[in-house]
């Protein structure tokens, strides 16, 4: 039996695997982008029907960037965490244990698939949205904060996905729960709606979510909308959330891996 | 006919037992239409107002319409997914080879098999919103809901015809995921479930008219507009759906025979 000795070799193998899969399942990849775009449009065109004509352009821009953040979160959750089901069904998790490779590193490699789908989806949605909102959609108040908001979202959603993967190996989270949570996050998690526009009860919930702070920074970058707690405070809160989420992810992975090595695994999507 | 009934019975038996084994999923079947309606309503009212939606959609009762169209959306997902995704699911779990080599033809499994479970899940989707509809619209609302269910059942026949060919294609292209998955969001997008179809580009409007769902949506709009809906406005829609049922299944059945031939020639798995 050949054991993988070097960590670098492990990372290279995982990277190779995910790139090969991306190439092998190219139709599925394109299909994912198409499906994503269409689902977003169905709901957004519906939501835009609520908006009065005089606010239409501003709301279309807020909605578009909310969608971009949601694409990042949704793809991380489904293409990383949701994929656990497939990895388990094909016996790949146990296989990695046997070769002394943490299966979470292998599953986390799906980040590559997630980011590829996200990067391909955004221009398509942008093109379609520009036909609705015109060139106004391309206007950016501060590219630095726009980029920062997106990077923050990417970090939060990847860490959240890893927590989900780890938890699912231990507890079995039904796949529908992920959908429910993702949908709720768009409205209640401050991704699609500025905190200031939210009803008060929902506002407290939204402010407790890390995504909200990434979204508030991004909205400042796009439209110059002042974040709910002010820009400087939002930056501090966003940084604290990174540390907290990273610590939680590390602890959860440690505990779950110890448990799983002894008792075996369960997964997201098991119905 | 013996095989048709046997396949229907077996498929429904499997479906019911899946629900029994997964109560969480069964619960979410009741909960989903509300979640979708909440998402659209919540997002829409934070960005605009329900009155604006009512004006733009040209409907008198927007709440009834949003609830009903959420259920229509879920029913369409279940119709297309049950038919188009069924064969792929069998391939994943390793039972497709047995199905292909068993006495009934593949088309019987593909078309007849999912009908009872699809009818059942559509029934659940629609009746789950009955309490809300009774609250807002009284007994007349309940009756309208029953009419919408009948329209969904009528639209199911041509939809199955379309889904079966696209589902068959996913076997031929041998992808891991369902490449036919684009069909549901595409149908929903061009049918204008949550927005007037007229806001779409003309080409998409025309394509939309070729899908049965647009006529179910049209019927729902009529039912949500008039207190006592004039039935003579619904008759032409029924006629179109019946015509589509005959036409689509006439054309798609040979397509499925072709897929069956290909699968028998090349085998079910690639590796």
pLDDT tens per residue across span B127-136: 888 888 888 8
Å between A29 CA and nearest CA of chain B? 9
Indicate whether this complex's ipTM tops 0.85: no
Residue A74 has what pLDDT?
81
- 3-state secondary structure labels for all residues of chain A: CCCCCCHHHHHHHHHHHHHHHHHHCHHHHHHHHHHHHHHHHHHHHHHHCCCCHHHHHHHHHHHHHHHHHHHHHHHHHHHHHCCHHHHHHCCHHHHHHHCCCCHHHHHHCCHHHHHHHHHHHHHHHHHHHHHHHHHHHHCCCCHHHHHHHHHHHHHHHHHHHHHHHHHHHHHCCCHHHHHHHHHHHHHHCCCCCCHHHCCHHHHHHHHHCHHHHHHHHHHHHHHCCCCCCCHHHHHHHHHHHHHHHHHHHHHHHHHHHHHHHHHCCCCCCCC
Å between B256 CA and nearest CA of chain A? 21
pLDDT tens per residue across span B11-57: 889 888 877 877 767 777 788 888 888 888 888 888 888 888 888 88
Whether residues B35 and A180 touch (CB distance < 8 A) is answered with yes
Q: Which of A51, A184, A192 sits opposite B48 (nearest CB)?
A: A51
Is some CB atom of chain B closer than 8 A to the CB atom of A16? no
Residue A240 has what pLDDT?
95
Mutate to test the interface with B, among A17, A20, A47, A189 (most CBs of B within 10 A): A47
Mutate to test the interface with B, among A18, A46, A70, A175 (most CBs of B within 10 A): A46
Q: Give the dihedral sign, CA B207/B210/B213/B214.
A: positive
Is some CB atom of chain B closer than 8 A to the CB atom of A11? no
pLDDT at A145 exceeding the cut of 90: yes
| Rounded Cα gap, residues A85 and B186, in angstroms | 26
- Chain B positions in Cβ-Cβ contact with residue A46 (cut-off 8 Å): 40, 44, 193-195
Q: Hunting for tokens 């036919």 — which residue is that?
A: B180
Residue A245 has what pLDDT?
92
pLDDT at A136 exceeding the cut of 90: no
Confidence tier at B271 by pLDDT (50, 70, 90): very low
Q: Which of B21, B52, B194 sits opposite A45 (nearest CB)?
A: B194
Segment B55-80 mean pLDDT:
83
Who has greater pLDDT, A244 or B175? A244
Å between A215 CA and nearest CA of chain B? 15
- Chain A positions in Cβ-Cβ contact with residue B40 (cut-off 8 Å): 43, 46-47
**In chain B, which residue's Cα lies nearest the Cα of A131?**
B201
Residue A174 has what pLDDT?
54
For chain B, how many residues are written? 271
Q: Which of B18, B25, B195 sits opposite A46 (nearest CB)?
A: B195
Q: Which of B24, B25, B39 sits opposite A187 (nearest CB)?
A: B39
Q: How many CA atoms lie within 13 A of B194 on its CB side?
A: 30
Residue A1 has what pLDDT?
54
Segment A157-170 mean pLDDT:
81
Å between A243 CA and nearest CA of chain B? 30
| Rounded Cα gap, residues A212 and A72, in angstroms | 14
Q: What is the mean pLDDT of chain A?
A: 81
Whether residues B43 and A86 touch (CB distance < 8 A) is answered with no
Is some CB atom of chain B closer than 8 A to the CB atom of A85? no
User: CB B238: neighbour CB atoms within 10 A?
Assistant: 15
Of A121-125, A127-131, B58-62, minimum mean pLDDT range: A127-131
Å between A42 CA and nearest CA of chain B? 5
Of A243-247, A249-253, B149-153, B161-165, minimum mean pLDDT range: B161-165
| Rounded Cα gap, residues B200 and B68, in angstroms | 21
| Rounded Cα gap, residues A38 and B186, in angstroms | 6
**In chain A, which residue's Cα lies nearest the Cα of B49?**
A50
Residue A271 has what pLDDT?
38
pLDDT tens per residue across span A60-102: 888 888 888 888 888 877 777 767 777 777 778 878 888 888 8
Is some CB atom of chain B closer than 8 A to the CB atom of A237? no
| Whether A195 contacts A207, CB under 8 Å | yes
Whether residues B56 and A180 touch (CB distance < 8 A) is answered with no
Give the domain ranges of chain A. Answer: 7-263
Q: What residues of chain B have any CB closer than 8 angstroms to a CB in chain A?
A: 18, 21-22, 24-25, 28, 31, 35-36, 38-40, 42-50, 52-53, 56-57, 92, 173, 175-179, 181-182, 185-186, 188-189, 193-196, 199
Who has greater pLDDT, B12 or B252? B12
pLDDT at A270 exceeding the cut of 50: no
Is some CB atom of chain B closer than 8 A to the CB atom of A196? no
Mutate to test the interface with B, among A23, A49, A110, A194 (most CBs of B within 10 A): A49
Q: pLDDT above 90 covers what percent of chain B? A: 0
Residue A100 has what pLDDT?
80
Å between B42 CA and nearest CA of chain A? 7
> What separation in angstroms does the CA of B254 have from each of A223, B203, B211, B248?
55, 28, 20, 11
């Amino acid at each position: 039996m050949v054991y993988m000795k070097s960590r670098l070799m492990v990372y290279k193998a995982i990277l190779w695997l995910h790139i090969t899969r991306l190439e092998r399942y190219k139709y599925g990849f394109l299909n994912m982008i198409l499906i994503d775009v269409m689902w977003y449009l169905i709901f957004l065109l519906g939501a835009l029907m609520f908006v009065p004509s005089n606010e239409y352009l501003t709301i279309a821009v807020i909605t578009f960037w909310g969608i971009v953040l949601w694409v990042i979160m949704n793809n991380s959750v489904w293409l990383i965490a949701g994929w656990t089901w497939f990895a388990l069904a094909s016996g790949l998790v146990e296989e990695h244990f046997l070769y002394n490779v943490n299966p979470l590193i292998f599953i986390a490699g799906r980040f590559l698939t997630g980011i590829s789908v996200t990067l391909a989806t955004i221009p398509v949605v942008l093109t379609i949205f520009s036909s609705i909102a015109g060139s106004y959609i391309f206007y950016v108040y501060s590219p630095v904060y726009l980029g920062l908001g997106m990077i923050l979202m990417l970090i939060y959603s990847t860490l959240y996905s890893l927590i989900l993967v780890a938890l699912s190996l231990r507890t079995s989270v039904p796949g529908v729960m992920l959908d429910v949570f993702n949908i709720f996050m768009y409205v209640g998690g401050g991704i699609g709606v500025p905190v200031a526009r939210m009803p008060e009860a929902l506002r407290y919930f939204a402010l407790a979510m890390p995504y909200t702070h990434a979204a508030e920074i991004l909205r400042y970058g796009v439209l110059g909308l002042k974040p709910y707690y002010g820009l400087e405070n939002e930056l501090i809160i966003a940084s604290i959330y990174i540390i907290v989420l990273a610590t939680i992810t590390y602890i959860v992975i440690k505990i779950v891996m110890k448990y799983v090595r002894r008792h075996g695994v369960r997964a997201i999507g098991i119905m | 006919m013996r095989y048709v009934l046997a396949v229907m019975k077996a498929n429904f038996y499997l479906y019911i037992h899946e629900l029994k084994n997964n109560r969480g999923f069964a619960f979410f079947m009741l909960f989903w239409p509300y979640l979708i309606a909440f998402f659209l309503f919540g997002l829409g009212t934070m960005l605009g107002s329900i009155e604006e939606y009512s004006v733009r959609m040209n409907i008198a009762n927007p709440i009834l319409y949003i609830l009903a169209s959420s259920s229509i959306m879920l029913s369409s997902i279940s119709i297309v997914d049950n038919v188009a995704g069924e064969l792929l699911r069998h391939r994943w779990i390793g039972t497709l080879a047995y199905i292909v080599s068993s006495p009934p033809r593949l088309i019987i499994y593909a078309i007849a098999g999912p009908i009872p479970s699809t009818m059942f899940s559509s029934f659940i989707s629609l009746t789950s919103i009955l309490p809300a509809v009774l609250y807002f619209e009284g007994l007349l609302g309940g009756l309208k809901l029953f009419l919408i269910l009948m329209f969904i059942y009528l639209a199911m026949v041509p939809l199955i015809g379309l889904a079966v060919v696209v589902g068959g294609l996913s076997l031929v292209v041998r992808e891991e995921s369902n490449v036919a998955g684009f069909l549901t969001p595409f149908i929903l997008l061009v049918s204008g479930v949550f927005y007037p179809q007229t806001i779409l580009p003309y080409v998409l409007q025309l394509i939309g008219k070729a899908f049965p769902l647009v006529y179910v949506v049209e019927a729902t709009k009529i039912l949500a507009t008039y207190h006592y809906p004039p039935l003579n406005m619904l008759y032409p829609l029924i006629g179109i759906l019946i015509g589509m049922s005959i036409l689509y299944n006439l054309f798609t059945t040979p397509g499925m025979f072709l897929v069956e031939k290909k699968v028998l020639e090349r085998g079910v798995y690639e590796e």
